[in-house]
Amino acid sequence: MLRIWIVLFSFILLFQPHVMGEEKVVIAIASEGETLEAAVSHIAARGPYFLIVDSKGTLMEAVENPYKDNRGGAGVSVANFLALKEVTIVVAGNIGNKMKDALEAKEMTYFVFEGTGGEAIKKILEKEDSE
């Protein structure tokens, strides 16, 4: 009986955000550089980097965009790449129609923003807090 309680308690802790109705927020910013001080890239699928940021605004990692030089289909490939990173929100200066469709199919939100990555995060977190 004790084992059953331990297993149940472990599952509750493991899936706590989902149990509490909270969703995990992971933000990807198409960026010209590897820090939050870098400018948001003008085109999502062609940006040199993606800054992966948690729901508290902490930079978790900067990853090079493996599809920035693709001749075609970069937007869809980037959407799939970001989905594997469990991204829920994408930020860029511009997002093409095919990438928008791919993001929507994966239930990812996107925002168009000009400025730095840090400014984008501040704006998004303010919006999240007001909802």
The pLDDT tens digits of the residues spanning 39-69 come to 999 999 999 999 999 999 999 999 999 999 9
Average pLDDT in the 27-41 region?
A: 97
| Domains, the chain | 23-130 (3.30.420.130)
Asked if the model's pLDDT at residue 36 lies above 80, the reply is yes
The pLDDT tens digits of the residues spanning 76-100 come to 999 999 999 999 999 999 999 999 9
Asked if the model's pLDDT at residue 2 lies above 70, the reply is no
Asked if the model's pLDDT at residue 34 lies above 50, the reply is yes
118: enclosing H helix or E strand: helix 117-130
pTM over 0.85: no
